Amino acid sequence: MSSNILDNQSVNIRPGNLQDLPEMLILFKETIISICKKDYNTDQLEAWKSGAYNLERWLKVMKEQIVLVAEMDHQIVGFCTLDQGHYIDLLFVHKDHQHLGIASLLYNLIEKEAIKQNNLSLTADVSKTAKPFFKRMGFHVISEQTVHVKGVDLINYKMQKNLLT
């Protein structure tokens, strides 16, 4: 467990399930609006947040990806998903639980899973907000990208990390 997490708070990491989805969607929307506002304008945040309403996509995530959920006191405080063994699709930490080491805990377990599946690298499309975290985890930027969401342009980064085998 990370030394950043407060001693009196324990984090439980477990596989996610469909019953977690409503709470995950709230966390997704609130984190985007609260935490990413320093890097994106209101229109961009609203467009990005609208992804929560694509239920078909979220059901596919829950069915086809490895989903890890972090809980504290029976509340979901973060989640991370791994698609096809090598792509980190989602990594979000609750707006009230930032900088406690939760993202690192989730990421390290996802990386172990990718290594277990014999993948040589991990990739992710990373927001401006998440870019420093991914750099600390050993990722490098492959390219800057402009993503079009609901008629709004958002900048993000294709990042990759080579895994030791």
pLDDT at 4 over 50: no
55 Cβ neighbours under 8 A, 6+ residues apart: none
pLDDT interval class at 9 (50, 70, 90):
low
Instruction: Give the domains, in start order, of the chain with CATH numbers.
Output: 12-119 (3.40.630.30)
pLDDT at 164 over 80: no
112-163 pLDDT, tens digit per residue, is 999 999 999 999 999 999 999 999 999 999 999 999 888 899 999 999 999 9
The better pLDDT of the pair 164, 139 is held by: 139
Q: Which amino acid is at 107?
A: Y
**Other beta carbons within 10 Å of 34:** 13
Q: Which residues pair with 146 in a beta bridge?
A: 155
Range with the poorest average pLDDT among 6-10, 62-66, 141-145: 6-10
Q: Which residues pair with 153 in a beta bridge?
A: 148
| Percent of the chain surpassing pLDDT 70 | 94
pTM: 0.92
Task: Tell me the CA distances in angstroms from 151 to 43, 78, 122, 146, one per residue in order.
Answer: 10, 28, 29, 12
